[in-house]
Amino acid sequence: MIPAIEVENLGKDFPRVRGGFDWLRLPWAGADKPVLRGVSFGVAPGEIFGLVGPNGAGKTTLLKILSTLLEPSAGRAALSGCDVVRQSAAARRQLGYCPGFDRAFYLRLSARENLRFYGALNNLPRRPLAERISSLLAALGLDGARDEPVRNFSTGMLQRLAVARALLHQPRVLILDEPTRSLDPTAAAWLRRHLREELAGRQGSTVLVATHNLTEAEEICHRLGVLDQGRLQAAGTAKEVCRQAGAASLAEAYARLTTPEKASEEARPR
Amino acid sequence: MTPAVVSLARKLGAFLRRDFLIAASYRFAVGLQLVEILFVATIAFFLARFLRQQGLEQVTPFAHDYFSFVILGLAFFDYLGTALGVFAHTLREGQLTGTLETLLVTQTRLETIVLGSSLYAFLATSLRVGVYLVTGVLLFGLPLAGADWGATLVLLALSIAAFSSLGILSACFILLFKKGNPFAWLLVSASGLLGGVFYPVSALPPWLQSVAQWLPITPCLEGVRRALLAGESLRELWPQAAMLLAFAGVGLPVTLLLFRWSVARAKRTGTLAQY
């Protein structure tokens, strides 16, 4: 069986960000900065895989490579067997992506108009699209605001709309970057249940979710990967990760496997 | 129609609808544009009247008077401004709002995204040009009775294609350097200065006249004026059409390749969404 997500020895270097007179002072001090190093893991169809790690660990970079928004410097990655660099169009057909930035909408359009636009770009026929939009907006509690301009939405409503956009074309692989970050407890609980029971359970979709919420990761993910300083420090079920770290709980394992964020680690392209 | 054509048409329609709805939500700006056109046409009219009183109107080739000459120059110069601005503007707005990445993960080709994002702007420019012409005819006596509209439309399509190649070059600049777009500034300035917008190219020194021939605005304005004001057919205007075709035929493939390369580079360096 072809894994839904394959990541093999993936590496990503970014050019060092230099400003002002650095170009004159240090013209050759331009070694690339490694952000991901030798990351390998696979996710089976219907599985929910969680990525946890401190800020700057490389989670978003990894998700962007899988979403075809970034090219890796080394290694390879594939979605349902489609290489994300060489077969990027085919890879995108498998993909639903929910970015971490929750204002990535046309704010003067309504929720329905935004989803209609993205649905057309994802080749959804008109009538099924209209039905899909109605059911998703209802499920995400946005039905009452479907014709309101998105600029009037709260952060939580925008986040729910971003989830709806990612689910619109019923993708086989769903990539979510901190999807519950701005959600209230009820909406977050609904999303977690929806991911586990509906998407992974009934529809057999594969979900890769990056989160800082360890309780959430433990609750919804079949397996987890702990990413730190660009390396996958441990991967497996929550129990396996704890065993690998020699810890009694996931929180303790996380603390042992990761290093506190340094301010300089943040200075990189996103 | 094949499914691919239907899908392309639907996607382009979705871009058009998106941009129309966004533009319509800024009602005041739409009204302001109409007022602006009226002001520009009135300035051109009084300037033309002044030149006529001074006995200078005969300097304008293919035109009965300076008003006809300059109003068409201004109207069709608008297309160049649109082409040079729309691609870079769309890209930068996408970077600022975060929507660029959400477009790039859809099942839509990059070329379709670029084309689709420019459609409404060109349509709005056509509407503005239409208002220029109608205002000119109704209020200031612009003589368009003998115009060859077929030739005008062909020249216009070729001009838009030629101008778009320069606009895509501007977009490459935004992808690579994020801000400050010298191409757009340089080309709009050079075209305004040398392309025969406000005065005939023949008014320039000979060496500048030869520089003007390398700007797509020059054959565009000459062709359009001759088609609209002198009623010349496409057969008579083939040198201008061939020049524009050459600009578009070479410019579009080259700049689209450059655009693809710029996107690939931005994906490698992680700067695609940076601004």
Tell me what pLDDT residue B92 has.
87
Q: Give the residue extent of every domain in chain A.
A: 1-15+32-58+72-94+172-185+205-246+257-270, 103-170
Number of other residues whose CB lies within 10 A of the CB of residue B257: 11
> Poorest-confidence range of A110-124, A246-260, B222-236?
A246-260
Average pLDDT, integer, range B196-210:
90
Q: Collect all residues of chain A within an 8 Å Cβ-Cβ radius of residue B104.
A: 68-69
CB contact under 8 A, B103 and A121: yes
Residue A267's pLDDT band (boundaries 50, 70, 90)? Answer: very low
Residue A7's pLDDT band (boundaries 50, 70, 90)? Answer: very high
Distance CA A132, CA B134 (A): 45
Per the CATH hierarchy, to which homologous superfamily does domain A1-15+32-58+72-94+172-185+205-246+257-270 belong? P-loop containing nucleotide triphosphate hydrolases (3.40.50.300)
Q: Nearest Cβ partner of A93 from B7, B11, B107?
A: B107
Name which residue leads in pLDDT, A22 or A76. A76
Tell me what pLDDT residue B25 has.
86
Residue A199's pLDDT band (boundaries 50, 70, 90)? Answer: confident
Residue A187 has pLDDT above 60, yes or no: yes
> Poorest-confidence range of A110-114, A152-156, A260-264, B182-186?
A260-264
Q: Residue B204 is encoded by which pair of tokens?
A: 């320039």
Average pLDDT, integer, range B220-243:
93
**CB-based contact, B179 to chain A, within 8 Å:** no
**CB-based contact, B265 to chain A, within 8 Å:** no
Number of other residues whose CB lies within 10 A of the CB of residue A4: 25
Is B41 in contact with B132 (CB distance < 8 Å)? Answer: yes
Average pLDDT, integer, range A204-231:
93
> Which is nearest to A205 in space by CA: A179, A177, A173?
A173
pLDDT digits (tens, 9 = 90+) for B149-188: 999 999 999 999 999 999 999 888 888 887 767 778 888 8
Number of other residues whose CB lies within 10 A of the CB of residue B254: 13
CB contact under 8 A, B105 and A97: yes
Tell me what pLDDT residue B246 has.
96
In DSSP terms, which residues pair with A134 in a beta bridge? none
Give the gyration radius of chain B's Cα atoms.
20
pLDDT digits (tens, 9 = 90+) for A12-24: 998 776 655 665 6
Tell me what pLDDT residue A41 has.
95
Tell me what pLDDT residue B96 has.
87
Average pLDDT, integer, range B223-247:
94
Tell me what pLDDT residue A173 has.
94
Tell me what pLDDT residue A203 has.
85
Distance CA B48, CA B74 (A): 14
pLDDT digits (tens, 9 = 90+) for B80-134: 999 988 988 888 888 888 898 999 999 998 889 988 999 999 999 999 889 888 8
**Mutant choice from A121, A175, A266 vs B, greatest count of B C-beta within 10 A:** A121
Tell me what pLDDT residue B135 has.
86
Tell me what pLDDT residue A29 has.
57
Q: How distant, in Å, are the alpha carbons of A78, A94, B84 from that of A123?
A: 22, 13, 30
Residue B38 has pLDDT above 70, yes or no: yes
Distance CA B215, CA A129 (A): 46
Tell me what pLDDT residue A263 has.
42
* CA distance to partner chain B, nearest, from residue A257 (Å): 27
Q: Running DSSP on this structure, what letter comes out for residue A267?
A: -
SS3 string of A184-222?
Answer: CHHHHHHHHHHHHHHHHHHCCCEEEEECCCHHHHHHHCC
Q: Collect all residues of chain A within an 8 Å Cβ-Cβ radius of residue B13.
A: 120
**CB-based contact, B97 to chain A, within 8 Å:** yes
Residue A139's pLDDT band (boundaries 50, 70, 90)? Answer: confident
Residue B142 has pLDDT above 90, yes or no: no
DSSP string for residues in chain B: --HHHHHHHHHHHHHHHHHHHHHHT-HHHHHHHHHHHHHHHHHHHHHHHHHHHTT-GGGSTT-SSHHHHHHHHHHHHHHHHHHHHHHHHHHHHHHHHSHHHHHHTSSS-HHHHHHHHHHHHHHHHHHHHHHHHHHHHHHH----TT--HHHHHHHHHHHHHHHHHHHHHHHHHHHHH-S--HHHHHHHHHHHHHSSSSS-GGGS-HHHHHHHTTSTHHHHHHHHHHHHHS---TTTTHHHHHHHHHHHHHHHHHHHHHHHHHHHHHHHHT-TT--
Tell me what pLDDT residue B272 has.
79
3-state secondary structure of A11: strand
Tell me what pLDDT residue B178 has.
76
Amino acid identity at B59:
V
Stretch (H or E) spanning A226:
strand A223-228
Nearest chain B residue to A70 by CA: give it. B267
Name which residue leads in pLDDT, A82 or B34. A82
* CA distance to partner chain B, nearest, from residue A199 (Å): 20
